[in-house]
Chain A
Amino acid sequence: MAKYDLVVVGTGPGGYVCAIRAAQLGLTVAAVEDDRPGGVCLNWGCIPTKALLRNAEVVHLFEKAETFGITVQGMKVDYAAAVQRSRGVADRMAKGVEFLFRKNKITLVPGTGTLKSKNVVEVRGKDGLTTLEAGRAVILATGSEPRSLPGVAIDEKTVISSNGAVRNEARPKSIVVIGAGAVGVEFADVYRSYGVEVTLLEALPRIVPIEDEEVSTQLTRSLSRRGITIKTGVKVSAVKPMGASVVIETDGGRFEAEQVLMAVGRGARTKGIGLETIGVTLERGFVKVSPTMETSVKGVYAIGDMAGAPLLAHKAMAEGVVAAEAVAGKNPRPIDYGNVPSCTYCRPQVASIGLTEAKAKEGGREVAVGKFPFTASGKAVAMAETEGFVKVVADKKTGEILGAHIIGAEATEMIHEFAVGRTLEATVDEIMHTIHAHPTLSEAALEATMAALGHAIHI
């Protein structure tokens, strides 16, 4: 039986970051992985989809080349090549994780890990069984997998999940995307950019429902303009594969397409890893954890998607660091879950942090809201990317930045100004007194903040 200070089960963004941080702190670490290092994020999620979305953006730029006085003739787009490029990006990143493991002397153990006791993990690999003993702690980081609707089986051919969508080199002629959260909207964007007829269905009254309402409105307008059919407030009652097509029955009509993409959320992977054996407590399908990520069983930690919402890679990474430091006795600072940025990489991009205007008002706060459209930004006009706006929600009394909501080009890069500000407890005054370089898209953040104070300059 091989013995390590720490055994990490799962090497997604939570697991691999946790393993590296623990190794940095001087612990010996074994990392168990049943797929490829990097988990869903690197291999099947965040990274490969960003590659596909970049392709979509390049297609879009070519399409509007005329705007810049550039004529393109005989343009052909090859979707299979886009998927292959995306796979290449994922491969490269997964190799990066393997390199980091070697660099930090982390032992990668391929196979499926199962807890036999609170400090023994049995790994079933291609070459049989390996048993790992954890001297200090076991970190569970087995992630999540796509969910479906009741009675709807995912075959990854006609009824696909993000797993199929990111792999399939053939694009359908038409697709119905069920669920307009980040995953649904991003694939809708990719498919539409490659000429697929896309219908986006959402059960809630608006797309990207966790975002600020004005962002949803703006995104609906932008996506509709690009020819995506959007139906909100519709409940799907049946998904019926009919050979070459699939029929989706809803209370808002019947839809037919070549494929349907189920993007209705993800569920924690908690089965088959021995949670029952050692009595780890679950809560609504997720593992219940303490602020230092410890489960109900002492010495067993859980991080990332399996430990609950938000199911985001960057949240998992932050939890990985907290868990590693806790195991190493470092007394880490707990995560502020109210300050996790949320990003959707469709075009225009959506990024937000903190409370929406509605949520802030629900909390009984008197809020000051400032909004600045990119149409008034010199840089955005120069780039010909004028869709969207920055919206700042502040506490009227204290100037606290309660939330920031950006929709527009590079929104996901711009949100961190507000993330840092909120971490440092900066108020609108500090943002206002920070000189922003001109011309940049980020000036819109400054202007929106000034608008909240009632004196934006450029609008």
Chain B
Amino acid sequence: MAVTKVVMPKLSEQMEAGKVIKWLKKEGDRVQSGDILAEVETDKADVEMEAFGSGVLRKILVTAGDKAPVGALIGVIAEEGDDINAVVAQAGGGAPSAAASSAGAKPAMADRPAAVPPQPKSEDHAERTPSPSKGPESPGIRRAQETVAQQPVVTEMAPRPQAPAAADGGRVKASPLARKIAAQSGVDLKLVHGSGPGGRIVRRDVEAAAAAPAAAAAPSAAAPSPALRPVTPTVTGPEYEDVALSTMRAAIAKRMPLSKAPVPHFYVTSEVAMDRAWELREELNGLEGQPKISVNDLVIRTCALTLLHHPGVNASFQGESIRVFHRVHMGIAVALEEGLITPVLRDAHAKTLAQIAVEARDLAERARQRKLRTQELSGATFSISNLGMFDVRDFSAIINPPEGAILAVGSVRKVPVVTDEGLGVGRRMAMTISCDHRVMDGAMGARFLQDVKRLLEEPLRLLV
């Protein structure tokens, strides 16, 4: 029967490589099409990878903990008697390096953002694991795989050091037992959050990470913010250290210049009187049995409704055309310890405040646990980045292409305001919209912002 190649799937538009977190099947295990073979860490989330053929998992080429470029052969499913040597040899013996293959894909994206695959019309393609042999594929994915087929890629198969944490000397604080278990279970201690005294990684942390790799990176809610922990100034020891880029940080580093350089940003800032919105929120949150509404939920609802009247802002530059969206899929930036991630609240324009509050909280929570599904990470038509919790007056954000705009939201602050009677105290919130000048102009951005402000200042409209 057929030999099924198991390749590193392309799980998001910008994904170029993925890390196998762990194999759920061993060499020699019988697998059915649809079985979960392995867990893969992409730049955004940890995803389960399905088998696309049935047979025996004959060979695992990329061991847990190692990375492979998209499309690289990472395993082979075949029947017992099938000869898989040719397939395996092709994968292992090729000359071109991983860097060469990704370099091939990169310029296309950098030169012509238009080449970014179109937004998914339906949400199913992203979650499916493409296999070379079957299934509908977007052109972008097919191209990547053809490249691979012609130029077998050398995967990083060098064995990992036995005890990664120990090799790092004093950088990772972990108990001896935690180190041993980590070494044995292939857990990277650098990705593990320590729950012991002073953030020390202890056994339970590693065991939790080994059991659920995705959860390990989640910052503990109870831990004080790093900025509040006392730091002892030092004049001895090494002057600096080079911290390897996490997959997420590497994606951000690669992605943001792709936005800032080719996308001509302009910024418009406005200030909103939040007194009534604040009162409304307090009142809503006083209701029993209702989900707690955050300021950001109000902003999401406001922007979603306003975007329906400003389709030009809910739009994306496509090279030869501008794509104007009729639905609002709201990207919500969520800060994580190792970077940020922008889960997408779909059809935000059609959801009530309560629905938005529940869904946004769920997305943020799962983002922190890195439990988001890939389709929840793509397809935003507009994004909101809120740094209000950090006591930020205002800031400007970088557009996440191919979106056309992003709104940066500051804190709600109590400030002196001039009223008819003289000086009073009011709650104010600054918002800055970053717009792609190829899609819209200053006045469009300003009018949108004006309507957002109006709606937030008459917040009862958000309820109808």
A427 within 8 A of B: yes
Size of chain A's interface in residues, with CB distance under 8 A?
12
The stretch that binds A, out of B67-75, B177-185, B380-388, is B177-185
A290 within 8 A of B: no
The stretch that binds B, out of A64-72, A253-261, A393-401, is A393-401
Given the complex of chains A and B, what is the CA–CA distance between A241 and B5 in angstroms? Answer: 84
A430 within 8 A of B: yes
The residue on B at minimum CB distance from A400 is B177
| Given A424-B175, A426-B175, A398:B222 Cβ within 8 A | no
B218 within 8 A of A: no
Kindly identify, within residues 195 to 230 of chain B, every residue whose CB is under 8 Å from any CB belonging to chain A.
Answer: 197, 202-203, 222
**Are the C-beta atoms of B222 and A427 separated by less than 8 Å?**
no
A217 within 8 A of B: no
**Are the C-beta atoms of B176 and A430 separated by less than 8 Å?**
yes
CB distance from B211 to the nearest CB of A (A): 15
Given the complex of chains A and B, what is the CA–CA distance between A454 and B119 in angstroms? Answer: 63
A237 within 8 A of B: no
A169 within 8 A of B: no
| Given A397-B184, A398-B184, A425:B222 Cβ within 8 A | no
A331 within 8 A of B: yes
Q: Which residues of A contact B202 (CB under 8 A)?
A: 425
Interface centre among B175, B197, B203 (most CB of A within 10 A): B175
Q: Which residues of A contact B181 (CB under 8 A)?
A: 398
Q: Which residues of B contact A425 (CB under 8 A)?
A: 175-178, 202-203
Given the complex of chains A and B, what is the CA–CA distance between A400 and B175 in angstroms? Answer: 11
Q: Encode A404-436 as 1/0 by CB contact (under 8 A) with B.
A: 000000000000000000001111011000000
Size of chain B's interface in residues, with CB distance under 8 A?
11
Q: Which residues of A contact B176 (CB under 8 A)?
A: 424-427, 429-430
The residue on A at minimum CB distance from B180 is A398
Given the complex of chains A and B, what is the CA–CA distance between A195 and B320 in angstroms? Answer: 106
CB distance from A261 to the nearest CB of B (A): 42
Q: Which residues of B contact A398 (CB under 8 A)?
A: 177, 180-181, 184
The residue on A at minimum CB distance from B178 is A425
The residue on B at minimum CB distance from A398 is B180
**Are the C-beta atoms of A331 and B222 separated by less than 8 Å?**
yes
**Are the C-beta atoms of B184 and A399 separated by less than 8 Å?**
no
CB distance from B94 to the nearest CB of A (A): 37
CB distance from B212 to the nearest CB of A (A): 19
Given the complex of chains A and B, what is the CA–CA distance between A430 and B180 in angstroms? Answer: 12
**Are the C-beta atoms of A427 and B184 separated by less than 8 Å?**
no
Given the complex of chains A and B, what is the CA–CA distance between A400 and B178 in angstroms? Answer: 10
The answer, among A331, A333, A427, for a CB contact under 8 Å with B177, is: A427
Q: Which residues of A contact B180 (CB under 8 A)?
A: 398-400, 427
| Given A425-B202, A425-B203, A399:B222 Cβ within 8 A | no
Given the complex of chains A and B, what is the CA–CA distance between A429 and B177 in angstroms? Answer: 10
Kindly identify, within residues 157 to 191 of chain B, every residue whose CB is under 8 Å from any CB belonging to chain A.
Answer: 175-178, 180-181, 184
Given the complex of chains A and B, what is the CA–CA distance between A56 and B247 in angstroms? Answer: 67
The residue on B at minimum CB distance from A399 is B180
Q: Which residues of B contact A424 (CB under 8 A)?
A: 175-176
| Given A397-B184, A398-B184, A426:B222 Cβ within 8 A | no
Interface centre among A333, A425, A426 (most CB of B within 10 A): A425
CB distance from B184 to the nearest CB of A (A): 7
Q: Which residues of A contact B177 (CB under 8 A)?
A: 398-400, 425-427
Given the complex of chains A and B, what is the CA–CA distance between A333 and B181 in angstroms? Answer: 23
Kindly identify, within residues 356 to 407 of chain A, every residue whose CB is under 8 Å from any CB belonging to chain B.
Answer: 397-400
CB distance from A224 to the nearest CB of B (A): 39
Given the complex of chains A and B, what is the CA–CA distance between A427 and B256 in angstroms? Answer: 45
Given the complex of chains A and B, what is the CA–CA distance between A331 and B223 in angstroms? Answer: 11
The residue on A at minimum CB distance from B174 is A425
Given the complex of chains A and B, what is the CA–CA distance between A400 and B197 in angstroms? Answer: 19
Kindly identify, within residues 330 to 368 of chain A, every residue whose CB is under 8 Å from any CB belonging to chain B.
Answer: 331, 333
Given the complex of chains A and B, what is the CA–CA distance between A430 and B177 in angstroms? Answer: 10
Q: Which residues of B contact A430 (CB under 8 A)?
A: 176
Q: Which residues of B contact A400 (CB under 8 A)?
A: 177, 180, 203
Q: Which residues of B contact A399 (CB under 8 A)?
A: 177, 180
Given the complex of chains A and B, what is the CA–CA distance between A398 and B177 in angstroms? Answer: 7
CB distance from B326 to the nearest CB of A (A): 50
Given the complex of chains A and B, what is the CA–CA distance between A193 and B92 in angstroms? Answer: 77
Given the complex of chains A and B, what is the CA–CA distance between A85 and B296 in angstroms? Answer: 72
CB distance from A339 to the nearest CB of B (A): 12
Q: Which residues of B contact A429 (CB under 8 A)?
A: 176
The residue on A at minimum CB distance from B201 is A425
Please give me the 9 A-B residue pairs with the lowest Cβ-Cβ distance, nearest first.
Answer: A425-B175, A425-B177, A398-B180, A427-B176, A400-B177, A430-B176, A427-B177, A426-B176, A425-B203
Task: Show 17 residue pairs from A and B whose CB-CB distance is below 8 angstroms, ordered by the A residue.
Answer: A331-B222, A333-B197, A398-B180, A398-B181, A398-B184, A399-B177, A400-B177, A425-B175, A425-B178, A425-B203, A426-B175, A426-B176, A427-B176, A427-B177, A427-B180, A429-B176, A430-B176
List 19 additional contacts besides A425-B176, A427-B180; criterion CB under 8 Å. A333-B197, A397-B184, A398-B180, A398-B181, A398-B184, A399-B177, A399-B180, A400-B180, A400-B203, A424-B175, A425-B177, A425-B178, A425-B203, A426-B175, A426-B176, A426-B177, A427-B177, A429-B176, A430-B176
